[in-house]
Structure 1
Amino acid sequence: MNSDFNDKRRGTLVRSFAFAIEGIIHSLKYERNIKIHLAVALAVIILGFLYRVSSFEWLVIILVIGGMLSFELMNTAVERVVDLVTSEHHPLAKQAKDIAAGAVFIYAAISVVAGCIIFLPKML
């Protein structure tokens, strides 16, 4: 009986991962902003190899890239939910979308600052 329960939990976990991957793939196919973030991430990774960044700098770069992509996915999810709830212009719907976009913008700005701290001294 315990084995049955564990098998069901494992199946649910695997499905959860599959749904998450499906969401990521959908965003990669259809969302312009995630493609932009990925292109920038690729450029940063290439620069990281060219400038031989330290292990700690790689850690920061990985966390910044992962955070940026995560924020963008959450922003997309908020937009979808708002669009699902109402097709009419509503001030609260606009605020929800704007606030989620603002979170992405703040993290993007922080990411640029982190990139400048890591790369500018190496470039100069």
Structure 2
Amino acid sequence: MASPAPPPGLLRRRAASFGHALRGIGAALRSELHLQFHAVATAVVLGLGLYFRLRLSEWALVALAVAGVWAAELFNTAIETLTNLVSPDYHPLAGKAKDVAAGAVLLAALGALVVGALLFGPKIWLLLSR
């Protein structure tokens, strides 16, 4: 049995949604200093991974750690932006929302740091001890 054809314009709308997502990442990257720091850290980690010729399983851990930090930072940016919109004046609940979102980024970054230390630490130690 043949599958039904997608409704007209569905593929175009799906492609446009990727464009919206990329535009959002770009906007956050241009405006958020912490995300710029994560971009530099990502480039360094990718360079180290290529230099040390990580195994596929190690690349998978790096990819999950990097994606987790980027996703947390983007959620944090979205929450902060929306909070600023709906609560331009200080409100304790708005502050709590921002603090919790920032805490999520901190946990993701610490987790990525542990992954990086476990993967790259022994390789760097071996390189330096020669």
Alignment-derived partner of residue 102 in structure 2: 101
Runs of 4+ in 1 over 2 A off after TM superposition: none
1:89 partner letter: Y
Count of matched residue pairs: 122
Within a 5 Å distance, the mapping from 1:42-57 to structure 2 comes to 42-57=43-58
Percent identity among equivalent residues? 34
2:78 partner letter: A
Distance 2:75 2:104 in 1: 10
What's the secondary structure of 2:8's corresponding residue? helix
Give 1 or 2: higher helix fraction.
1
Alignment-derived partner of residue 85 in structure 1: 86
Q: Deviations over 1:1-33 (max 9, x none)?
A: x75x62232232122111111101111211111
Q: Tell me by how many angstroms 1:83 deviates.
A: 0.2
Give 5+ residue unaligned stretches, structure 1.
Answer: none
1:100 partner letter: A
Give 5+ residue unaligned stretches, structure 2.
Answer: 126-130
Alignment-derived partner of residue 74 in structure 1: 75
Q: Deviations over 1:61-80 (max 9, x none)?
A: 11111111111111000000
Q: Deviations over 1:45-91 (max 9, x none)?
A: 11111112111101111111111111111100000000000111100
Instruction: Give the TM-score taking structure 2 as reference length.
Output: 0.88
Distance 1:60 1:110 in 2: 11
Please give the root-mean-square deviation of Cα atoms over the aligned residues, in Å: 1.3
Structure 1 residues 12-21 or 110-119, which shifts more? 12-21
Q: Deviations over 1:84-113 (max 9, x none)?
A: 001111000000000000000001001000
Instruction: Give the TM-score taking structure 1 as reference length.
Output: 0.92
Alignment-derived partner of residue 23 in structure 1: 24
